Structure 1
């Protein structure tokens, strides 16, 4: 065997020294990493920050929610009482009108002529009646003198009665002609707002058939809505118990573009039967409209005071979670832990949810940050806020 030369010995020695140095560097790095990770190994993550609020207990009244439509108290379809060509439209479409304001004028010439003829007939009838009366008086004198027969006297007396009847008939014809002439001026029968003119100048309007326009009253207005059977029966029970009258219940109204229910009114009518097809009954509220906020046909949200005042526990609806068919909330437990409590909920009152059972008045309910709680008993960092308040922008843990 040949002995290794000097170059091979030096090269192998150099490679061995380099490998040894690399191993030392790797070991040092691993040791450094281990020394840095060791102090934090096994430490728990910080508790999530949540907002908690004490259950709000206060007297409330229950309000039932419905949807309805605004309707005018009075709606008139204006049609002419006499036929003729429309001579003038005397109003501006869409304007408010008062009772008696002139809206349309129908050609009056024919009706003026009819009135003149009737007046002439009346004068003729009066003249004939005066002549008959004079002849009747003369016949009475002649009868006493036995200058005429009883038969002729009776004939003259009948002529007098006939003349008087003719005067009455002619007088009635004059009054009828005066009415027809008056009806050529179509006036608003109510205070309200006039609609579009359905017939314009020059068109023929037929008596009792041609629609000229519509007029709707504006103040007050009605709001019609439907109530289900259960609510209707509950209100009837309240009325029988004397807690609430069937009519006169306070009503709150809100329109589609409004927040809450800024308008007030009262219930003034409930229908006399339940619709068997829908299981609902129609009711009506009357609402003042001095500012013309309501227009017939608008959608309206309706609330009716459905109970007497009672004390209730209220929470923010954002705190409520669902587990299949059960509702629950997290409350602040010992050592700032989240404790689950199943609850039975009621209606919404003033933006908060009524809790019928499941909570105590002193409970602090987790409102904001419930999504950070993954299991009951989990530690949390609570910040106390008022019930119903918005989530704080920067939460600070309670001491």
Structure 2
């Protein structure tokens, strides 16, 4: 009886072991559905942000700096006071010029009277022609002196106005290079700098080959019809779309490129003068393409492939990739038709034919 029981137990364990050995081990993987999306053809460049207005603030007269009236880095409005130069000497110059003008006007009144008297005497044959001509010349000279003194007064007033240095444009102001108490002059160099903020320009070089690619799309090269988008150094997308508004009229002979400029709204101040960015120019109408996450791609000696779930097992699909879509997705030109469950997580445990348990993975937001 005991021998029969032992035999039954042995047979049970042997059958259990054989079943566990024959049953395939399943691997848990994360999958994303290959999507079909309208993708616009685009050309990518590296560009630099440029402020539309970039003004160096300089002193236009020599004088003692009495005050610095702005906070470095602030947004200043056109006409806002920035620096004040001591006014005393310039007010005195205005007064001196005004006095000289009054004196020359008085001299003009006297010269007119003398000219009138000389002409009357000459008409009555009492005075000489020489005296009349001398009186006429003196009157004209007095007229010229008034013009000179008026110009000197205007110059003195202009110089006085230069003692109040104001912002010529609206924009963000940099740090001040000169502090209160120093003597400034036109030779002092820039006191500070102001850069406008909204909108901003982006300039980027375009090669002749890329111009030809754009022409091959069949689109007319009307710069006002070309739309542009930006990505920052971390590949995050700028949330405003720009428009190309200028193509240079000459080709750089050293690089064989043409400088192109686009204008972008900058309401939040995210674009900074001098910043390096990635520029994409949309060319042609959108075409429906298959898009998958870049993390699904695997490369070997034969090329690029992905794993898909086919009837509960992992299967290889060889693919040909296009350009990026967003910063996280890639366009698939060949190899996928859309709808396939592409494995993106757990790839290190997957081999062709491996039984898998597929779990949908939230796809990263496409930033295209």
Scaled by the length of structure 2, what TM-score is found? 0.83
Aligned to 1:188: 167
Match in the other structure for 1:77: 56
Deviations 1:211-230 (A, max 9, x none): 22212212222233444554
RMSD, aligned α-carbons = 3.4
* 1:342 maps to which of 295, 311, 318: 318
Pair 1:210–1:362, CA change in 2 (3 A): closer
Contact preservation (8 Å) 1:54, 1:386: no
Residue 290 (structure 2) aligns with: 313
> Using a 3 Å threshold, how does the CA distance of structure 1 residues 236 and 105 change in structure 2: closer, same or farther?
farther
1:33 Cα shift?
6.7
Q: SS of the counterpart of 1:176?
A: helix
2:3 paired residue number = none
SS at match of 1:263: coil
Task: Give the Å deviation of 1:281.
Answer: 4.5
Helix, strand or coil: the match of 2:261?
strand
Query: Match for residue 269 of structure 2?
Result: 292
- Say whether 1:353 aligns with 2:330: yes
Say which one has the larger Rg.
1
Question: Which residue does the alignment assign to 1:172?
Answer: 151
Q: Report the counterpart of residue 281 of structure 2 in structure 1.
A: 304
Distance 1:112 1:85 in 2: 14
Change (3 A) 1:379 1:196: closer
Q: Secondary structure at the match of 2:324?
A: strand
Residue matched to 1:396: none
Matched, 1:103 2:78: no
| Residues 125 and 318 of structure 1: CA distance in aligned 2, closer, same or farther (over 3 Å) | same
Residues 83-135 of structure 1 deviation map (CA, whole Å, 9 limit, x = unaligned)? 11212223333332221222112222222222222111111211111111111
Alignment of 1:145-224 (within 5 A): 145-224=124-203
Partner of 1:92: 71
Q: 198, 212, 231: which one pairs with 1:233?
A: 212
**Aligned-partner SS, 1:40:** helix
Q: For the Cα contact (< 8 Å) 1:312–1:354, is it kept in 2?
A: yes
- Look up the match of 2:97: 118
Mapping for residues 257-272 of structure 1, pairs under 5 Å: 259-272=236-249
Q: Flag structure 1 segments of 5+ consecutive residues without an equivalent.
A: 1-28, 391-399
Deviation for aligned residue 1:255:
4.1
Deviations 1:160-211 (A, max 9, x none): 1111111111111111111111111111111122222222222111225432
Displacement, 1:297? Answer: 3.5
Cα 1:389–1:296 change in 2 (3 A) is closer
CA pair 120-260 structure 1, distance change in 2 beyond 3 A: closer
Q: State the aligned residue count.
A: 359
Task: Give the CA deviation at 1:301.
Answer: 4.0
**Stretch deviating more after TM superposition (56-65 or 273-282):** 273-282
Q: TM-score, normalised by structure 1?
A: 0.77
